[in-house]
Structure 1
């Protein structure tokens, strides 16, 4: 695995510790915090709080990817994310923090990077926009490649696997080859197995139990378990905001199995979880 990757001027030294990516949804319909940060002022205030809590990257998304979410057009997505990126780059408390743009659209990714974002987080893994890999290669930025099947509307009907981890591995191998052939630097790819995306709750647990199988690909691993439905299923807790302790347990398990980055809503709490887990599970 590459020893380090520079994102927004910050060095990420893989294996040294767990890095925290904070979720900043600037949408009205995200599954756990929809509408809370839909104004620029609220979003920047949340970003400042994340920075003070020890976040390493802030991931800004302008289109919900929850099951059944309504797609939005490019103009709507840009109107949501660009003012927040620009505002963060102008604010002294957030101007230094690496920014990730959570999008499946190449045009949105390009505009966000030009506005000051540093890394592209694509939940489709290059499947939704045929221009994505070419765009990432031209921009020369790091890229999070996630596994999913179908779309937000259809993914929960596409959960049949013979070997869920093995099939995700095969998908990664195929998409990494496509990305590299398009000109993306392999050392700038980060993999995300897509917990909850076209996976039943038992499959999400299986993926976390066997994250170490992805080590064969020799790339850093991002894991997003925060507040997700498999935790709600285990706890019989329908309210995503009341899944903090379950999220903590899942994050700890992910670190024990080799996660390099955790994508989370509750930054301060997961910074503490990762520090303790790192002391236990990392050299």
Structure 2
């Protein structure tokens, strides 16, 4: 992490205003994770009651979250997530979304369904977060374009393949996603790339993606990294999801050093402190 923004002036002027504000800072924005689901891998069921979800959003904002990322269907990067219909996803969102939007901090909607994304954006959400990088729902890119919203394009794979060159696979995936985005009319300045740590990857491939994050600088787009509590941490030091704060912070600081503009985390206060202290130290070089 450097004391100066890793993004050029041209990057800033061409970016969506919401992204531009984050890119101009010497430390990454922090996206707080809010799962209003019963089965998310780390905190499933903790915030599926509306009053608890709203209280958690307030707590993350008080801790310094720049964005609240709301998900109403588990997109856990491991086997076992239960698919839900768009109607069920919307039923989980409706009691909480307006109240959280009203808190005044930008909200992103973590969904792979265009119907859900459209509803959330119409209700005041500011960002779409698609864990299938515009490549699963054929209407997703057009929905995002119609609302003029920034979109997080995440790399994903249906199956893990330890034999592939994961960086080459990710580069090819992002090229396809960006082609879809361009054809739908999504401006490049509205796009954020996410390497999808833990999704369709072995633990080693997830760590490779983090170590070689600068391989994606060729796209000239901001990067979001969400390594929070992911399973690869436990392959280094045995741990359950709630015991992976140290590993999450380590991964996120490395991501920030390699240019990540947004960090997606469960532990907002600790992550905000870590990225801001690291930036302050670097500023003294």
Q: How does the TM-score come out when normalised to structure 1?
A: 0.91
Residue 19 of structure 2 is aligned to residue 23 of structure 1? no
How far, CA to CA, are the matches of 1:61 and 1:130 in structure 2? 20
Q: Please, which runs of 5 or more residues in structure 1 have no aligned partner?
A: none
How far, CA to CA, are the matches of 1:161 and 1:5 in structure 2? 38
Segments of 4+ moved more than 4 angstroms? 280-283
Aligned counterpart, 2:93? 81
How far, CA to CA, are the matches of 2:108 and 2:24 in structure 1? 18
Aligned counterpart, 1:224? 226
How far, CA to CA, are the matches of 1:147 and 1:14 in structure 2? 25
Residue 18 of structure 2 is aligned to residue 7 of structure 1? yes
Name the SS of the counterpart of 1:246 in structure 2. Answer: helix
Aligned counterpart, 2:216? 214
Q: Please, which runs of 5 or more residues in structure 2 have no aligned partner?
A: 1-6
Aligned counterpart, 1:236? 238
CA contact (8 A) 2:22 2:261 kept: no
Aligned counterpart, 1:59? 69
Alpha-carbon distance, 1:79 to partner: 0.9
Alignment of 1:65-144 (within 5 A): 65-66=75-76, 67=78, 68-90=80-102, 94=103, 96-144=104-152
Residue 280 of structure 2 is aligned to residue 279 of structure 1? yes
Residue 264 of structure 2 is aligned to residue 263 of structure 1? yes
Alpha-carbon distance, 1:12 to partner: 2.1
Name the SS of the counterpart of 1:206 in structure 2. Answer: helix
Alpha-carbon distance, 1:6 to partner: 2.3
Give the number of equivalent residue pairs. Answer: 271
CA contact (8 A) 2:109 2:125 kept: yes
CA contact (8 A) 1:20 1:261 kept: yes
Alpha-carbon distance, 1:35 to partner: 0.4
CA contact (8 A) 1:255 1:281 kept: no
Residue from 45, 51, 54 that aligns with 2:55: 45
Alpha-carbon distance, 1:281 to partner: 5.2
